[in-house]
Amino acid sequence: MPRLSLSDFLQGPPDAPILDVRAPVEYAHGHIPGAVSLPLFTDEERARIGTAYKQVSQEKAIHIGLDFFGPNMSKMVKLAQKIAPQKEVRLHCWRGGMRSGAVQWLLELAGFKVYLLDKGYKDYRRWALAQFAEPRPLFVLGGLTGSGKTDVLHELARRGEPIVDLEGLARHKGSSFGSIGLPPQPTAEQFENELAFELANLPPNAVPWFEDESLAIGRVTIPKLLFEQMRLAPLIVLDIPRAIRTSKLAAEYGREDPAELAGAIQRISKRLGGLATKEALAAIEAGDMEKMVDIALEYYDKTYGHGLNTKINSTIVRVPSATCDPVINAELVRAVAQPLFISRRVTQG
């Protein structure tokens, strides 16, 4: 059976969807970005086969697997036809072994053209982790809570600048309020998978923009080798007055569920203190979002300010702005970054 290297597999025909034939629990834990789950076995079936393999023999496990596979063959083919009506697919399992081989045989029998990933998803994981060790030039965009850093990143992207939206990939904004209004976070493994994919698909010689983040974004963690590069990169800090940031955040949080806002305040209650917590909760109940935000910013501004004083980035540049308008602020940070980029190229050259 022809097998493709990982690079050829990922760059394969764009109209050939990637089918992941591992069990649903394996897929949910982590998968190649864009892959569709087409499990050969259910989680329970996979567990039974594994038990037979360990406790009896490989032959017994294969026989059990065939018993499960046989009645489901027609169903798998029909599902594959819905996913890939052109009958061309890329296919993988964990190590490129019997599971993907069996499904390849079945689909080719049904008239599909199948591209099989040599060494399976395990090879993708090795490749993904290696991406974070690759040295790369980058810029980090910082600023106090409410500065609109993510909006500026997206505006930079609209202007053709390469960006890596860590919060977008993590589906979390990084603070106690970070999960409000967002879908559930990916697993740690899936976050790494998607981040590696983003890094690998940056334009050649690109200098991407990252947002200044803590090591942890909600429940996921930035890979340490990449985080160390971010800590040393030039840091461009938007410096926006607190009143403007308060108004921006109050408008945003005014659209959210008060119960979720109260939960976020409760999570930082020890840092806010009893009186501030009580006042913030009362402000939420009264619909006074500006007061609630102002109380929370007292904590977040101190925390970020302390962190900024301990930064070890190669260059730290403050960019004052009297607005949270991302169009204006994108121009301001680009103007600062351009000479830094030229200076680094000259130094490295």
State whether 256 and 334 are in the same domain.
Answer: yes
- The pLDDT tens digits of the residues spanning 95-148 come to 988 899 999 999 999 999 999 999 999 999 999 999 999 999 999 999 999 999
Using DSSP, state whether 183 is helix, strand or coil.
coil
Angle at 162 between CA 158 and CA 163, to 5 degrees: 90
Residues sharing a CB contact under 8 Å with residue 77, sequence separation 6 or more, in sequence order: 106, 107, 110
Domain count, the chain: 2
pLDDT for the residue 109? 96
Catalytic (active site) residue 324: no
The tokens of 115 are what?
């591209």
> Mean pLDDT across the stretch 80-89?
96
Average pLDDT of the residues in 179-201: 96
Least confident among 3-7, 51-55, 124-128? 51-55
Shared-domain flag, residues 75 and 207: no
Domain with 13 in it: what CATH number? 3.40.250.10
Domain boundary among 129, 157, 173: 129
Indicate whether 151 and 68 sit together in one domain: no
pLDDT digits (tens, 9 = 90+) for 330-348: 999 999 998 887 555 434 4
The secondary structure of residue 175, as a DSSP letter, is S
- Both 161 and 109 in one domain: the answer is no
pLDDT band at residue 316 under the 50/70/90 scheme: very high
Parent domain of 178: 132-348
As a whole number, the mean pLDDT across the chain is 93
Tell me which amino acid residue 117 is: L
Kindly indicate the confidence band of residue 70, based on its pLDDT and cuts at 50, 70 and 90: confident
H/E element holding 92?
A: strand 88-92
Same domain, 185 and 321: yes
Q: Which of 93, 114, 235, 268 is catalytic?
A: 93
Of 76, 101, 129, the residue at which a domain comes to its end is 129
